[in-house]
Structure 1
């Protein structure tokens, strides 16, 4: 345990300071203010979309580079990207410079995979859950502290927005130091599976503990001889080439998404995350239009802080909810997606800043609740070696959909809609998600009733595949 303490403390410190960004809740106000003097159309339709496109383009290459380079170099790259981002935000001027800034921030965001997977390369599988909790808590506390500091400096100390840039840059500079002192891992999930302290016994132990959570329907497609675990033993004591890794990833992709419950949760993950990114990206321009920061005091920091803390609380309460997600999952996804659609519509229609703030908090809390459920339901179906693949694919699909939505709705090359028509589109988008899962639940209910009728007619037990699973997927 003591050998794990040093990298865990360093990684948590890095996560805290890299997410301590007092300026973030006020970024739109800063770009529209006298320091940058950009127009709303430039910020919304020409600058912010660059983050979406760069994140999409960089995600897969960074994912492969993270595994091939064993995490640490990509963490250093992420830290450097954050420093460059906020240094440009301080010194650079003009639309083109801000577009380059968004590219570097997209690189930093894509590199999050290195932060969340590094710890798995240096600790035993038995410690995965605890260490993951530490790392995620560090980022959460850093984000919440940044929001609170930013709002207090503006509201109480009457600081200027430029001062928040200085603090954010200083925090990024502190975070930049931590990755250099992290120990270099000797193994990774794909390219360097069997180097260092990893053992087949550990992998089998990790796999068996996860399989206890799987039902019969999930076990069939996800535990075949073509699994990444069995193939990793074939490649023992040697590095795996790029072609081999891509082949393994493709075969695992096909096997994983044959599982219908996993596919359903992954579909919601991708669709909802796409819309969620759009809302959090463009909520500030909406608030700025409703209540201009040049004329009124704004409270974006408190709103982001409250939504973050309530989202974390909702995530913690997931395990206490007496819900059989395998039976009622699709219906609850429908109802709560519809609630998210209502929040977006109300934000847009009433044009009252306090209503906007309240709906935003409810929207984020609902999303954090559901994404936590989706993460658990998907993870319970997988061996450790497939976490990165499925979560990465889901995120990639979400970003692909978001890029298409941004290109058509937001970008000046597309419709280039103003902020209020944009939110009408986003509200309709979440209503469509609700409709999709209502149809899925209706189909599932009809299939179950038809199966029960056939059982009654034949006087036999229903086949295993037609029964509702005894445990969550």
Structure 2
């Protein structure tokens, strides 16, 4: 087996084990059950927001520490954190205990950056597309198996909801043990970069010196001089965010991600609030359907979008799909039938997978290769910042809106609809402006 494929397989097994958490589809169901001394409103307003704020606060720190420690230690720490989270959920019963768990969960989510970026430090750039698909597929398969297992165990009444935590913590222990088999990383992008020099917006790699030809000592010293991490970070940040296309798609990415994170965080609370709640909750089956549809839509986005649409057409299609996403969210919260709510949520998830794949593709095509991690990390940070604003305004009692969970989701639905309408108007105005400028250009040419 080729070395790059072996490393990819090792990391994918870790990703699969990390995502094998059958308690996730029933997390709200468990917290609002008989095992914890908290109310539904406390879960909604006092527990889940802590995880959101923690994720935001830790993301930049984890991104930098991941690069500084060269990935593997953070992957191991992430698995240990998973053990702490689901182990603590087994024995704690109080509100303060659940809030502490959410702080750890913020680190656990932020730690995903180590999983996704590790592979790029271990394989050659020619294999990036393949290993990217491998690592993401491993996460999808882990979620898929977790959903099937959860629904089977609950449907057959082999376990109660809370006992699913034992499976989740066991998978985190397995992920921790497996993480030790991952090869060490010798370099990283910023703090342990290869000998590089930034001059005129270009990068010179020290590996070029290995060709055997003698260079003048001053030039050799310049090439072997290590670029400070802060300088390389600023260079990549500036070169990316002075590009209008990068700004345009980054804004779309962050706005869309903020809505998605908010909806997936609180959707289970909505289902728990239905009066006609079924005897057996079908959350596991819904997660399976969502994962499958998301995978299919992501593949379709790559197939239909690749070289077939202009940037303007892509943006207009994203705007229209955003309106459809808002409609799906409305279906999930305005209906009195929980099964229609399930349907709305699954359709929303599929549409989001399509739009986020297109946005990521547009971003990637506009970026310098080495700035991928920084730009996507910063865009995620902006998305989390927007999510925190949504949480504070819509969910928190401090804003004094006093919206119930169905009203909160109505706000999220119109959030997507308004975004779609604004982007549609912007694209149309941009098109009209470009058309109106053509006759003037022709006249000036004559």
Q: If the length of structure 2 is used for normalisation, what is the TM-score?
A: 0.91
Counterpart of 2:215? none
Task: Identify unmatched segments of 5+ residues in structure 2.
Answer: 208-220
Counterpart of 1:378? 363
Counterpart of 1:55? 55
Counterpart of 2:210? none
Residue 423 (structure 2) pairs with residue 437 (structure 1): yes
1:443 Cα offset (Å):
2.4
The CA deviation string for residues 321-348 of structure 1, in whole angstroms up to 9 with x for no partner, is 2641413122112110001111112222
Residue 18 (structure 2) pairs with residue 34 (structure 1): no
Counterpart of 1:217? none
1:254 Cα offset (Å):
2.6
Counterpart of 2:67? 67
CA distance in 2, matches of 1:184, 1:19: 22
Among 386, 392, 395, the alignment partner of 2:377 is 392
Does structure 1 conserve the Cα–Cα contact (< 8 Å) formed by 2:253 and 2:356? yes
Counterpart of 2:296? 313
Residue 414 (structure 2) pairs with residue 428 (structure 1): yes
1:269 Cα offset (Å):
0.4
Does structure 2 conserve the Cα–Cα contact (< 8 Å) formed by 1:347 and 1:356? yes
Gap change, CA 1:160 and 1:291, over 3 Å in 2: farther
CA distance in 2, matches of 1:194, 1:251: 16
Does structure 1 conserve the Cα–Cα contact (< 8 Å) formed by 2:245 and 2:366? no
RMSD: 2.2
SS, match of residue 441 in structure 1: helix
SS, match of residue 161 in structure 1: coil
Counterpart of 1:191? 191
Among 228, 252, 262, the alignment partner of 1:268 is 252
Residue 163 (structure 2) pairs with residue 177 (structure 1): no
SS, match of residue 332 in structure 1: helix
Matches within 5 A, 1:193-208: 193-194=193-194
CA distance in 2, matches of 1:317, 1:431: 23
CA distance in 1, matches of 2:222, 2:432: 46
SS, match of residue 159 in structure 2: coil
Counterpart of 2:86? 86
The CA deviation string for residues 65-100 of structure 1, in whole angstroms up to 9 with x for no partner, is 011110011101111111100001111120000011
Counterpart of 1:450? 436
SS, match of residue 76 in structure 1: helix
CA distance in 2, matches of 1:98, 1:353: 27
Task: Identify unmatched segments of 5+ residues in structure 1.
Answer: 204-222, 461-473
Counterpart of 1:149? 149
Counterpart of 1:369? 354
Residue 377 (structure 2) pairs with residue 402 (structure 1): no
1:230 Cα offset (Å):
4.7
SS, match of residue 41 in structure 2: helix
Counterpart of 2:99? 99
Counterpart of 2:239? 255
1:260 Cα offset (Å):
1.8
Counterpart of 2:261? 277
1:231 Cα offset (Å):
8.9
Gap change, CA 1:290 and 1:332, over 3 Å in 2: same
Matches within 5 A, 1:109-148: 109-148=109-148
The CA deviation string for residues 154-182 of structure 1, in whole angstroms up to 9 with x for no partner, is 11244211221111111111011122121
Residue 211 (structure 2) pairs with residue 226 (structure 1): no
CA distance in 1, matches of 2:139, 2:148: 14
Does structure 1 conserve the Cα–Cα contact (< 8 Å) formed by 2:333 and 2:406? yes
In the alignment of these two chains, the number of paired residues is: 430
SS, match of residue 162 in structure 2: helix
Does structure 1 conserve the Cα–Cα contact (< 8 Å) formed by 2:240 and 2:368? no
Q: If the length of structure 1 is used for normalisation, what is the TM-score?
A: 0.86
SS, match of residue 321 in structure 1: helix
